[in-house]
Structures are given as C-alpha cells and as structure tokens.
Structure 1
Amino acid sequence: MKTILFKLNQFPNLSETFILAQIILAIESGFKVKIIVSQLLDIEGSRLEELIYKYSICNLIVIEDFRIPKSRVFRLISAVYLFFLNLKYLKKLILYYKEQETINLSSVHQFHFYCKFKEYDIVHVQYGTNTWPMDVLKKIGLLRSKLIVSFHGHDAFFPINGHIPNNGYYDKLFNYGDLVIANTAYLANELLKLGCPHHKIQIIPVGVDTSFFVKGETTKTPQVIFNLISVGRLEKVKGHEYAIQVAELLNKKGCEISLRIIGEGSERGKLEKIILSKNLEGVIKLVGKKSPLEVRDMLRSSDVFIFTSVATKFNRRETQGLATIEAQACGLPVVVFDSGGVKYTLKDNVTGYIVPEYDVNLMSERVEQLLNNPELTKKMGIAAISFVEEEFSQNQIKAKWTKVYEINS
C-alpha cells in the first residue's frame, strides 16, 4: 500500500478545511496516511468533527513530541541511549548535526523521532514554515520520500510573521524538495523571486464545496436597497477602510445601498470610528464573526460582493482568498482591487470587475453600474456560479491533487 505523511502545525484549524479535504482525498485514494501535528486543537464541537470521526482521523495523528527530558542529566542519558539505538544511521546523524545552527542534545531526539517516517512514499507539508526538518533529512539522504510543500501566502513573505528573516530560509527546500505548490500565479512568482526553480512549482488553487453554497432557495426578497457585502478578518490586509470609502461615495451620489462587513479583528475600533465620523452608521454594519451557514445565508441575501484587499507592511498581499470564490458560488458578481492573487479568483467583465488597487472611485462606479442594471447583475451572477464550478469546485481540485499523488508515489 502506498503511504503518505502529512506534516501540519495546528489541527484541526477551522480556517483550513482544505487541509482536511486533502487528507480525506489521500485516504479515499487508497493511501496509508499518517499526520504529524505540532499542536492538536479541540475536536469536540468543531464543525469538522463529523468528518474527522467518519474517517478515523484521530487514529492517524502523531504529535510532534521529541520526548526530551527536562533534566540535563536525564537528557544526556537519553541522548546517549538514542545515539546507540541509531548507530546504523551514524553517518546520517553526523550530517544532521552539521546542519544544525546550534549543536545540542535535542538534535538526537529530533533525529530519532523522524527516523520512523523516512520510508513514506510522499511527505506533504502544509505551509513552507513547517518544512523543517524534512528539508534537512532530504538533503542528508535519510528521507527517501518525495517531498511536496504547499505554500499559502504569509509563508512566502519575509520577514515571515514579522520576525523570520530570509537568510537562505528555504534554500534546502528549493534544492532538495520535489514539488512546491502555489495557489495562484501571483504566489508562484513570489516563490520564483525567492529562488525556487521554475520546474518545481505547480499551481493548484484552494477550492470550495460548491454544493454547500448553491443548494437551497435564495433568501433574497424584493427590496429597494442594493445590498453590498464583504467578508474578511478586520485586519489591514483586507483593506476594509476602502470598502467604507466606496460605500460613502455611493451614498453621496444618492444610491440606496447598504454594506455589511463580516469578520472580526484588531481593526474593529478604527473602522467603527471611521464609520461614525462619516455618519454612515445607517449604511454600514460591522456584523462580526459568523458561522459558515450564516455567512452563506448573508451572501445569498446580498446583491454584490466587494473585496478591497491591499498591500500591507513588507508589501504582503492576498495570494488567493476564498471569500471572492464563495461569493461567486452563491451567485454574486464580485468587484475587487487588483491586489496580489485576487484577480485569479474571478473572470474580469464576466463574473465581476477588477479595478486598480486603491481606486475607490472606479470601484464605486462599477458597483453603481451593477446597481443600475439588474439584468447585468443577474447575468454576471449566473456566470459566477459556472466559473467557480469549473475552476474551483472540490471535484476539480481533487482531480489535480489525485494526479500529483499518483505521479509522485
């Protein structure tokens, strides 16, 4: 039986349902699966709970615990014991030591832990920041697996998380890894800039469960007000202050509109002050964090989705974004800033409009165009559903991953 090892940081992370989908795909494809997890989160009550138990995911999880004694004496005794236990890999252990920035007894425990996984056909790491020590083990020849690493965005922009510098951080991965996955051409280009060989990069977007969004009756009702909606954490990268400016421009033109912003985050206080200062409390609502079902229902009851994501510190941008895809799956035209990889999530002039980053005037004009042309809004909404089904449905993405796993196992 072919084998695959997934390496994750936290699991299950509710914002990363695509990872569980990939694990299930591997199981259904006949792979023997193991999952290394740095931190196991609560499963009980999670909306992923049903799937986790259905596929017995808990039985596949191995916590990344090197079992390093706290006492120096016991740590030394343990290291000596593990050293002799791994004598047949002595050359590899020495090479592993040489690859460490700081030499300490913990390296023996790490080496011993990962020796158990060296024979897997595929090692699939989620997020570049979780690659260590697979890249090292691949370099020294201990890991015989095909090493696949999926990047998702923040892991390609330095300093990563505001503090990890680019001092050759991914050199081993790019030299010894087998395949690097980017979710859009934008992220692929960023990886090329970091030194990843072109032939090792493949683009596979993150998909959505289209049946979840389109099934059921719409909750739209005849109304005078044109409902705009945006979904995203209340953080600078989402650019919600520009969405507020768009709503302000439309309101000043006398357009009967409303804007609901779904999400929570550190920018809430700032955004509330902006809304109050512009006297837009009756037009714009920060509705907070919502469940997936609530988000879907609110999307269905809206007319147009706007997405004003922008560059942040260190020039980081959205590399894909699921919100625009989910909105289109619900039959909404989308109007977005041309920022990062967002433009790859829609079809310009067919399922929505792409406007230059920060151009709130043109965005407001595009929204007004849809407001004044219900037939165009309906036409784009229908096209949006078909577009997402063809490009981002789980079946389409599963087919791409099935091919990757077949080729590399």
Structure 2
Amino acid sequence: MPSSVIVLGAGMVGVSVALHLRRRGHDVLLVDRQEPGLGASFGNGGLIQREAVHPHAFPRNAAEIMRIARNRSIDAYYHWGALPGLATPLLRYWWHSEPQRYARIAEAYAKLIETCLDEHYAFARDTDAMPLLRPIGWIRMFSDEATFGLALRQAEEGQRLHGVNFASMDGKALAEAEPALLKARFGAIHWTDPVSCSDPHALVMAYARQFEEAGGRFVMGDATSLSRAGAGWRVQTADGPNDAEKVVVALGAFANKVTKPLGYDPPTFGKRGYHKHFALQGNAVLNRPVLDTESAFLLAPMRAGVRLTTGAEFAGIDEAPTPVQLARAEPVARTLLPLGDAVETQPWMGVRPCTPDMLPIIGRLPKQDGVWCAFGHAHQGFTLGPTTGRLVAEMMDGETPFIDPTPYRPERF
C-alpha cells in the first residue's frame, strides 16, 4: 500500500529513489540542506559507466603502494592527520581487494552496473534530460605496449562475462579521433557503451523536476534532525517538522551522521575529489572524455568547458579543501590538450562515499523499523542512482527485486 516516505539526500541516488517511489504512488518528501545535485553528483566525470563492472580495488602491488605512500602522485593524495581515523576501513579495503575475494565482489557489483543504461534511459527518454546524454563513450589512453596489452585482455574478459563493448585503437586511430591531443600515445581503448553527460548537475535537476511534476515535494532541511515520531519518523525542514512512516537515507559520505545515532555505524570512508573547467585555445575540440593512464586524470568535454577531474584524496570529510592534486594535474593536462583559461576561480570539491568491500549499502536499516539505506556507491553514484532507486522501491513495496539485493545488505557490516 502507498505510504509516506522521507528521502534524505538529493544527489543522483536520493532523487532516483524519490522518483521511483513517487511513481509507485507513495507520498514522498525529498530533503537536503541544498538544492538537488550539488553534492558528489555535481563533480563527477559525467559518465554513466556501463563498462565499470570492476570496482576500484586497493592496490596489492608493493611498488604501487610505495608510490602512493610517497604522497606525490596525481591520482592519490592523503592528509597525514586523517590516517589514524582511516586506518581500519582502509585495512579492510585492502583485505577485500585480495584477488579471490575481489572476484566475488566484482560479480555482485557487475549485476548493478549491467542495468545502468536501461534505468537512466527509463527516466530520460522523451524528456528534457535526453539531450544531456551523449552516447559517445570515453577513451582510455596508454603510453606503452605492456600496459595497453594488459588492459585489452581485461576488456576482453569484461566483454565475455558482462557484455561490455569496446574498440581497440592504435596511436594513429587515436590521433584521428582526437586531433587536438598534443601528445602521441601507443594506443587506447574506446569504451563504446558508456554515456557521457554534458552537465551532471542539470541531469539530476531534470530528474528532480520529474519527481516534483509527479507530485513529489522537495524541501531544504537538516537530515541529522531525524528522530522518532510515534510509529514513524520526523525531520526538521525549512517548512517546519515533517513526519512520515518511512525514511530512506541516501546521504552518500555523510550517511553515518544519521545512521550512527540509530545504532548503525558501518566502516565507510570518503574519497574526496576535485574538478575545474577550462576553455580550449583556438578551434580545438575534445570530442570525447579521455583518461590518460600515465597521468591518471580525466578530461571531459562539458557545457562549462573541459572538466579536469582528480583521483582520490583521503582526508576528513568535513576538512577544508586542499586541491593539491589539481595543482599537480593542470600543468600535465596542458601538455595533453591546448587548455586556455580556467572558467572558475575556485575548484569544486566533493566526497565519494566508499565502503571497504566496494559494494553499496542498500536495504533495510538493522533494528530500526521503517528506515532504509541507499548509500556507499563510491565512484558510481551518478551511474547507479536510477538502478538503486528501482531496487529500493521494489524492496520497500515487498516485491521480488529485479536483482538479488543480498550482496548489498546493510547487515554485512
């Protein structure tokens, strides 16, 4: 039967949960401290990554760990003061990344990824969201034959096991596809399935408008004010207190601030990321997002300009921004593309919500009636929002879910 639901968090995941529930007839209130899509959903690479069937594992190679430990790289940077608090989740992350354990995790992860395009198109088709989605894939570039060959073998395995499509490119084909590149590369993989979004924030807002047009309500409020109200739940908002029978926590890296007082404190951690937009000089054009393996950052064409994104910064989620990785990446990026002036004076920063086993937390909150979890999507909240929304809605309605939700159950922590 339809019920009243408060969804806490208006990123891609929260908006998608709210829209699915509203379309099923539930009375849904979406709550966030800011307008939809301004959290981690704002600052990603803008990719709906159908190819991302393997989650980001913790390095197991000693040389790679030592490289990162020196704290001089572009792809990873850490605050010394944050390490004591991160030690336990990172150690568990390393443990789960052992090859046999990782293989089982990747199998469960792939079940979510395999549906991502269908679920996004179910929202976007025949709406103002559709022009934001560009079926152009993205390109990963390689500097040497050995690294390229290993990546091709992994891509072939993804194609065989999970239907991931790609095209292999030699250096000449890459130069023809992206003539603005200033450096030659040995080869590249063009992932042809993924969809590139020209404005991630606009896509979240488009889905949020669908939610409101369907009769849902959005209001700014304080998620940490969540408390019991009789048999249901109450949250304080700009419109005053709002009550509902059920609550969905979709707060990304900040979910523990709500779940911990309710007795659930999983060992999640944040990977902070940054981006900045640049104009291109002259008539130069970047046709697709490109990731240079050697340099370890993504350059993506967006409405606002070419977006330069960083890897992972390990720091407290509430600490002030320290865009060290952007400062390291920008001069290297200028050797790859003819970047002009920066579009913004200050870079954007967001926090990716990560779990030690690389799987999101989706399901009923332990020991609390009427509270559901939908967080911990790490690098793929933008990709997996609509998929998660459908899964949560089917579970809340007591249906048989379209995929087995067992691997994502909150009780595993």
TM-score of the superposed pair, with normalisation by structure 1: 0.29
TM-score of the superposed pair, with normalisation by structure 2: 0.29
More strand by share: 2
